A = this chain, B = another copy of it.
Amino acid sequence: MTSSSSWVPGVTPDTPFSLANIPFGIISTKDDPTPRPAVAIGSHALDLEALNGESSLGEIVPELKGHENVFQQTTLNAFAALGRPVHQQVRKALRDLLTAGSSHAAKLQENEELKQKALIPLGQVKMHMPMAIGDYTDFYAGYHHAFAVGSMFRGPAAALQPNYTHLPVGYHGRASSIVVSGTPVRRPWGQILLDPTAEPKQPTTAPCRRLDFELELGCFISTPNEQGTPVGIGEAEDHIFGYVLLNDWSARDIQSWEYVPLGPFNSKNFASTISPWVVLADALEPFRAKGIENKTPVQDYMKEAKAETAIDISLEVDITTPEGDTTTITRTSAKQLMWSFPQMIAHHTLGGCNMRTGDMLGSGTISGTEPGERGSLLELSEGGKKDVMLYGMDMRRFLKDGDTVTIRGVCGGNGEKVGFGECTGRIYSAVQR
């Protein structure tokens, strides 16, 4: 954390993009529609391609020398692949450059032409997918969510399988349909049991009636491991590039019919939304916290040296109705996870599975224990049985066409906030058939 201030205009105390953050994303502008890397500072994006073209970041960051072309790419993958020590140095150098009175600040602050070109108001940039995602794995590490949803699908006695406390349960998700915040989400069609109790079971093909969000944290892989070579728990941190907010949209009626025995499929693969700025792992170090205690002794390959393996990010979910009324329906923390990302990586690679730069891991839905802390409508509405009250005399059990779901996440106090920006998506009506 830092309490120094930036010379960039408009870096207010409440900005999620303080000097303590320096998150990376992919931007384009009207003048230059080619997507390119940038960092966010206050209400501006700093265009790294423009900056690097004029002042060579390699001169400030020796570790970057010879690799400056990572900022002439349409994704952050090449930068991520350079590894954590380089990310640390680059982030530090950029912070220096943006800090009032620092040794390097003049290089940008006093170069009016470069400033004009490289410092762009966020309102004028379009955000793109930050990474090319090879594989997406979704875990299920939110214990309170797993218990609550498991109870609904299978009853409380079988809510959690015997494996739940021994390994981070996860499944392979769909990479192609992950979209950046702001992308419209179309209500999916699917096979649905209109009467789940009738025998024999007879599905209907219809638009989803139980469309839901899932509040998750996404984690990007930086350096790959070779196929056949597991990542040890001690090295797993070094394979993490950074984090985004993740909304793993879910069609609950499609899910309950399709998911046995091979897991969720069409109920999840129509869309997942991520926030556009990748907050680097180092920016979140000061916010380490204990996660949910696992009373079961874990296998050696997942035993961690540190006690604080979760991250205390304050998370909120808003629903905005088609009429424009916004209600915050969930407030919780990313520390509500029973497995850490290093444990997920160690488990995922135990059998030799190779992770590639840009692969994304989802945490699983994050829920607290209280009614207002639940990370999905399925939980908030108790399985669709109870109305969730919204402003404007409105209510929801599941999402309506025209609803917008927005996830926000932030750590730290005023002047040194580390936040994610918004992860938002609006529901459009199902395709006409």
List chain A positions with a Cβ less than 8 A from chain B.
Answer: 134-135, 140, 150, 153-154, 161-163, 166-167, 169-177, 179, 184, 186, 188-191, 200-201, 203, 205, 208, 227-230, 251, 254, 257-267, 269-271, 299-301, 347-348, 350-356, 359, 428, 431, 433
Count identical subunits in the complex. 2
Q: Is B169 within 8 A of A270, CB to CB? A: no
Least distance between A200 CB and chain B CB atoms (Å): 7
Q: B177, A227: Cβ atoms under 8 Å?
A: yes
Known contacts: A172-B171, A176-B355, A201-B162. The answer to whether A262 contacts B263 by CB under 8 A is: yes
Is B266 within 8 A of A263, CB to CB? no
Q: Which residues on B sit within 8 Å (CB–CB) of A270?
A: 227-228, 351-353
In this complex, the member of A153, A172, A175, A354 whose beta carbon has the largest number of chain B beta carbons within 10 angstroms is A172
How far, in whole Å, are A280 and B397 apart by their CA atoms in the complex? 48
* Chain B min CB distance to A137 (Å): 8
Closest chain B residue to A267 by CB distance?
B351
Q: Give bound CA distance, A150 to B167, whole Å.
A: 23
**Is A163 in contact with B257, judged by CB distance below 8 angstroms?**
yes
Given known pairs A200-B162, A356-B176, the reply for A205 and B266 (CB within 8 Å) is no
Distance between A400 CB and nearest chain B CB, rounded to angstroms: 18
CA of A348 to CA of B191, assembled, Å: 11
Which residue of chain B lies nearest to A259 when distances are taken between CB atoms in the complex? B261
Smallest Cβ-Cβ distance to A146: which chain B residue: B261
> Quick check: B348 and A266 within 8 Å, CB to CB?
yes
A166 to chain B: closest CB distance in Å? 5
- SS class, residues of chain A in contact with chain B: loop
Contact residues in B for A260 (Cβ distance below 8 Å): 161, 163, 261
- Offer 12 A-B interface pairs, CB within 8 angstroms, sorted by A: A150-B261, A153-B261, A166-B203, A171-B171, A176-B354, A260-B261, A261-B263, A266-B348, A266-B353, A269-B348, A269-B353, A270-B351
Distance of A431 Cα from B227 Cα, bound (Å):
11
* Contact of B263 with A229 in the complex, beta carbons under 8 Å: no
Check A301–B205 contact: CB distance below 8 A: yes
Are the CB atoms of A351 and B190 closer together than 8 Å?
A: yes
Q: How far is the CA of A227 from the CA of B178 in the complex (A)?
A: 10
Q: Does the CB pair A262–B264 fall under 8 Å?
A: yes
List, in ascending order, chain B residues with CB within 8 A of A359's CB. 176
Closest to A208 in B: B351
Indicate which residue in B186, B188, B205 contacts A300 across the interface (CB closer than 8 Å): B205
Q: Which residues of B contact A161 (CB under 8 A)?
A: 260-261
Q: Is the CB of A299 within 8 A of B205?
A: yes
Provide the residues of chain B in CB contact with A352, threshold 8 Å. Answer: 177, 186, 188-189, 270-271, 431
Q: Which residue of B lies closest to A299 (CB)?
A: B205
Whether B299 contacts A177 by the Cβ 8 Å rule is: no
Docked-complex contact A269 and B431, CB < 8 angstroms: no
Chain B residues near A154 (CB-CB < 8 A): 261
Name A167's contact: one of B140, B170, B203, B353 (CB within 8 Å): B203
CB-defined contacts of A153 to chain B, threshold 8 Å: 261
Q: How far is B433's CA from A134's CA once the two chains are assembled, in angstroms?
A: 28
Given contacts A189-B230, A189-B350, 19 further A-B contacts (CB under 8 A): A135-B175, A135-B176, A162-B201, A163-B257, A163-B258, A166-B203, A167-B191, A176-B227, A176-B356, A176-B359, A177-B227, A186-B227, A186-B228, A189-B351, A227-B270, A262-B263, A266-B350, A267-B351, A301-B433
